[in-house]
């Protein structure tokens, strides 16, 4: 009875649902199980981009940036590898190319002279033009037919214009090919590679539009030179009167190439350097001012230029003390006779010491010497001013000393032994020799001056061969080291030409050599009434490694 009663008691966990509703609920739970599993599986997967809460499509942004980076890099590689184009311009072979640049502009490289830069435009690309070589066939045609030079400028203009159009098309192919190839290698998707090529062309077109909008044809008026061209800007011709027009820019660019063509043609026909036995070479130095490096420079010039005699117009010392005397010892072993006159920083003690040195000749009070066939007279500076504590006597004292030199020159002329070169330290003293000798040399000023005096004597003032000595460290800019090589006719002893040698001063590394001709020795010049020159040809230039360039203008118009 107890068991039967217990079985009739309802179970507390059993559902209170009626029996006819229990079966459908169980069936719904079974059907819902796969859906729960699917939701759990989906929750573990990365949600698609389109369903991000913030709605920001991050993958397309990264994709676009990546495409842009690949396009720019590929276009740059395309220009670098296959963007250069060889273009004949007149008788020269040139290479033209577009290069990435932050400032734009045009750069023309004329090897071995240097670079010419023009601020022609502002764009992310720069036009590079390299003058590679002078074509021997086309240049020989110009040599054989000089009348063709008249039409060379028009020919160069046509060649430059045609080359620029070819370069534009070639650059389009280069940037499109480079961007497409790099995108295909990185993304391995043809459609994306084609998109990169199209984007590269768009960027190139944008750069071209920027260059056109910022085109500055007057940039030819303000060129920037580097290398050896920095001291020969006349290679671009006289362009100071041009107006701001595109066709003028083309003409000036053509003039540049034309002048460089003439320069190449002239230098290519020069014979190799050979010592000319009919030419005397005089090395003029001055104002060494205790710079020990000057001796090495002088010795090198003596060897390289085959110098016959060295002329020093004073201020070799700084204070003229006896303790400085041994600084003068190398003067005896420079490889050529050394002729010296006293400067205002050289004492009588200095002069006596040098008098007893081998291969050194000291001139004073109009003394005359004959070395290597050249008759040289000189006078020492009458003043001794080693420091600022000594009050200088001024130009009157210099002119008095110059008068003694002039008297000696008159005496030699009356004796039938005229002097070829007169020496003085101060130019004020040197001018007293006007009309009594063809050439007078001086120093003192620490910079070059070249003038023709009223009576026809040429006065050549040399700069400081010591770069100002210890004074160089007191200035904001170091003074250059300067010397000159004078070429004299062996028979008449008249000046045929001279080379001005300029080296960078303290801490600088620059070398410059410029060739100069007297007015009467220039091609087509009217012979002067002075005794005729007997040179067998143009004076020999410096040996290999130096470059001769057109002379600069000076006060007497001789360069």
Tens-place pLDDT, residues 160-170: 778 888 988 99
Q: Is the pLDDT of residue 377 over 80?
A: yes
Number of folded domains in the chain? 2
Distance of CA 435 to the CA centre of its chain: 41
pLDDT of 150: 66
> Long-range contacts of range 234-241, CB-CB < 8 Å, 24 or more positions apart?
234/550, 235/110, 235/113, 235/116, 235/259, 235/260, 235/263, 236/116
Structure tokens at 395: 């130009």
Residue with tokens 């410059």: 512
Using CA atoms, how far apart are residues 471 and 478, in angstroms rounded to an integer?
Answer: 9
Average pLDDT over residues 400-421: 96
Shared domain check, 313 and 224: no
Task: Answer whether residue 493 is part of any domain.
Answer: yes
Q: Is the pLDDT of residue 54 over 70?
A: no
Using CA atoms, how far apart are residues 515 and 493, in angstroms rounded to an integer?
Answer: 19
Q: Is the pLDDT of residue 543 over 60?
A: no
Question: How does residue 293 score in pLDDT terms, banded at 50, 70 and 90?
Answer: confident
Residue with tokens 């079966």: 23
Average pLDDT over residues 108-136: 76
pLDDT of 261: 47
Using CA atoms, how far apart are residues 210 and 25, in angstroms rounded to an integer?
Answer: 76
Task: Answer whether residue 213 is part of any domain.
Answer: yes
CB 330 within 8 A of CB 295: yes
Shared domain check, 274 and 220: no
pLDDT of 159: 78
pLDDT of 438: 96
Question: What's the 3-state SS for 334-391?
Answer: CCCCEEECCCCCCCHHHHHHHHCCCCEEECCCCEEEEECCEEEEECCCCCCCCCCCCC
**Domain end point (choices 176, 197, 229):** 229
Average pLDDT over residues 397-404: 94
Shared domain check, 209 and 276: no
268-279 residue pLDDT tens: 444 333 445 678
Task: Answer whether residue 258 is part of any domain.
Answer: no
Task: Answer whether residue 158 is part of any domain.
Answer: yes
- Torsions phi, psi for 361 (to 5 deg): -120, 125
Task: Answer whether residue 2 is part of any domain.
Answer: no
Shared domain check, 110 and 223: yes
Shared domain check, 452 and 305: yes
Residue 41, C-beta contacts closer than 8 angstroms, at least 6 positions apart: none
316-346 residue pLDDT tens: 998 888 888 999 999 999 999 999 999 999 9
Shared domain check, 300 and 206: no
Question: How does residue 558 score in pLDDT terms, banded at 50, 70 and 90?
Answer: very low
Using CA atoms, how far apart are residues 452 and 377, in angstroms rounded to an integer?
Answer: 19
pLDDT of 328: 94
Shared domain check, 482 and 359: yes
Average pLDDT over residues 290-315: 90
Shared domain check, 99 and 188: yes
Average pLDDT over residues 352-373: 95
Shared domain check, 412 and 338: yes
The closest alpha carbon to 172, from 98, 119, 107, 255, belongs to 98
% residues pLDDT > 70 (the chain): 62
Task: Answer whether residue 536 is part of any domain.
Answer: no
Shared domain check, 224 and 276: no
Count of CA atoms in the C-beta half-sphere (13 A) of 310: 30
% residues pLDDT > 90 (the chain): 33
pLDDT of 480: 85
Using CA atoms, how far apart are residues 259 and 255, in angstroms rounded to an integer?
Answer: 6
Residue with tokens 């063709």: 148
Question: How does residue 225 score in pLDDT terms, banded at 50, 70 and 90?
Answer: low
Task: Answer whether residue 127 is part of any domain.
Answer: yes
The closest alpha carbon to 295, from 483, 477, 441, belongs to 483
Find the CATH number of the domain harbouring 396: 3.60.21.10
Structure tokens at 445: 């000023």
Task: Answer whether residue 372 is part of any domain.
Answer: yes
pLDDT of 45: 56
Count of CA atoms in the C-beta half-sphere (13 A) of 394: 1
Shared domain check, 220 and 274: no
User: Which region among 23-27, 305-309, 433-437 has the lowest average model confidence (pLDDT)?
Assistant: 23-27
- Torsions phi, psi for 51 (to 5 deg): -105, 15
Helix, coil or strand: residue 96? strand
Q: Which domain holds residue 186?
A: 63-229
CA separation, residue 40 to residues 30, 36, 37, 133 (Å): 16, 6, 5, 77
pLDDT: which is higher, 217 or 479: 479
Q: Is the pLDDT of residue 33 over 60?
A: no
Question: How does residue 528 score in pLDDT terms, banded at 50, 70 and 90?
Answer: very low
The number of beta carbons lying within 10 Å of the beta carbon of residue 374 is 21
Structure tokens at 214: 């910022």
In whole numbers, what is the pLDDT of the chain averaged over residues? 75
Structure tokens at 325: 């005397």
Residue 106, C-beta contacts closer than 8 angstroms, at least 6 positions apart: 117, 118, 120, 121, 126, 127, 128, 129, 219
Average pLDDT over residues 424-440: 96
Shared domain check, 317 and 183: no
Using CA atoms, how far apart are residues 426 and 516, in angstroms rounded to an integer?
Answer: 23
231-248 residue pLDDT tens: 444 333 333 333 334 344
pLDDT of 83: 84
The number of beta carbons lying within 10 Å of the beta carbon of residue 42 is 9
Q: Is the pLDDT of residue 391 over 90?
A: no
User: Which region among 114-118, 298-302, 316-320 has the lowest average model confidence (pLDDT)?
Assistant: 114-118
H helical segments located in 83-189? 136-144, 152-187
Q: Is the pLDDT of residue 90 over 60?
A: yes
pLDDT of 460: 97
Using CA atoms, how far apart are residues 217 and 248, in angstroms rounded to an integer?
Answer: 8
Using CA atoms, how far apart are residues 443 and 265, in angstroms rounded to an integer?
Answer: 38
Average pLDDT over residues 406-423: 96
User: Which region among 138-152, 269-283, 356-370 has the lowest average model confidence (pLDDT)?
Assistant: 269-283
């Amino acid at each position: 009875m107890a068991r039967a009663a217990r079985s009739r008691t309802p179970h507390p966990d059993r559902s209170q649902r009626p029996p006819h509703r229990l079966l459908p609920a169980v069936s719904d739970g079974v059907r819902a199980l796969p859906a729960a599993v699917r939701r759990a599986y989906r929750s573990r997967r990365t949600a698609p981009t389109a369903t991000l809460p913030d709605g920001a499509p991050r993958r397309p942004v990264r994709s676009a940036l990546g495409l842009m980076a690949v396009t720019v890099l590929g276009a740059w590689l395309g220009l670098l590898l296959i963007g250069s184009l060889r273009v004949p311009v007149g008788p020269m072979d040139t290479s033209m190319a577009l290069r990435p640049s932050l400032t734009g502009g045009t750069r023309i490289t004329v090897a071995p002279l240097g670079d010419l830069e023009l601020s022609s435009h502002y764009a992310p690309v720069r036009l590079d033009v390299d003058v590679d070589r002078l074509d021997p066939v086309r240049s020989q045609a110009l040599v054989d037919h000089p009348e063709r030079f008249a039409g060379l400028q028009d020919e160069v203009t046509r060649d430059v214009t045609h080359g620029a159009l070819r370069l534009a098309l070639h650059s389009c192919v280069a940037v499109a090919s480079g961007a497409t190839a790099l995108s295909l290698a990185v993304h391995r998707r043809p459609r994306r590679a084609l998109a990169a090529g199209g984007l590269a062309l768009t960027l190139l077109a944008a750069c071209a539009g920027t260059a056109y909008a910022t085109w500055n044809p007057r940039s030819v008026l303000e060129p920037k030179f580097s290398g050896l061209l920095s001291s020969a800007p006349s290679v671009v011709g006289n362009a100071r009167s041009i107006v701001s027009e595109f066709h003028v820019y083309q003409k000036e660019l053509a003039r540049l190439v034309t002048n460089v063509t003439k320069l190449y043609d002239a230098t290519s026909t020069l014979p190799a350097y050979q010592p000319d036995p009919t030419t005397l070479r005089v090395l003029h130095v001055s104002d060494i001012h205790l710079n020990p490096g000057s001796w090495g420079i002088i010795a090198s010039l003596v060897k390289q230029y085959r110098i016959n005699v060295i002329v020093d117009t004073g201020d070799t010392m700084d204070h003229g003390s006896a303790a400085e005397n041994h600084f003068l010892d190398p003067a005896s072993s420079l490889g050529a006779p050394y002729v010296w006159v006293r400067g205002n920083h050289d004492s009588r003690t200095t002069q006596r010491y040098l008098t007893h040195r081998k291969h050194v000749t000291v001139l004073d009070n109009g003394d005359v010497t004959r070395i290597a066939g050249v008759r040289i007279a000189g006078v020492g500076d009458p003043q001794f001013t080693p420091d600022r504590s000594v009050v200088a006597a001024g130009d009157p004292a210099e002119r008095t000393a110059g008068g003694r030199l002039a008297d000696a020159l008159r005496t030699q002329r009356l004796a039938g032994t005229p002097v070829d070169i007169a020496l003085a330290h101060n130019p004020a003293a040197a001018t007293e020799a006007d009309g009594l000798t063809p050439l007078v040399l001086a120093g003192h000023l620490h910079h070059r001056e070249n003038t023709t005096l009223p009576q026809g004597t040429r006065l050549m003032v040399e700069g400081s061969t010591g770069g100002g000595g210890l004074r160089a460290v007191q200035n904001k800019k170091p003074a250059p080291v300067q010397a000159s090589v004078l070429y004299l006719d062996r028979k008449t002893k008249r000046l045929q030409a001279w080379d001005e040698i300029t080296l960078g001063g303290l801490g600088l590394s620059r070398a410059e050599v410029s060739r100069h001709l007297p007015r009467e020795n220039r091609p087509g010049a009217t012979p002067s009434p002075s005794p005729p020159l007997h040179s067998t040809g143009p004076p020999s230039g410096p040996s290999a490694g130096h470059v001769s360039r057109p002379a600069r203008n000076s006060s007497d118009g001789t360069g």
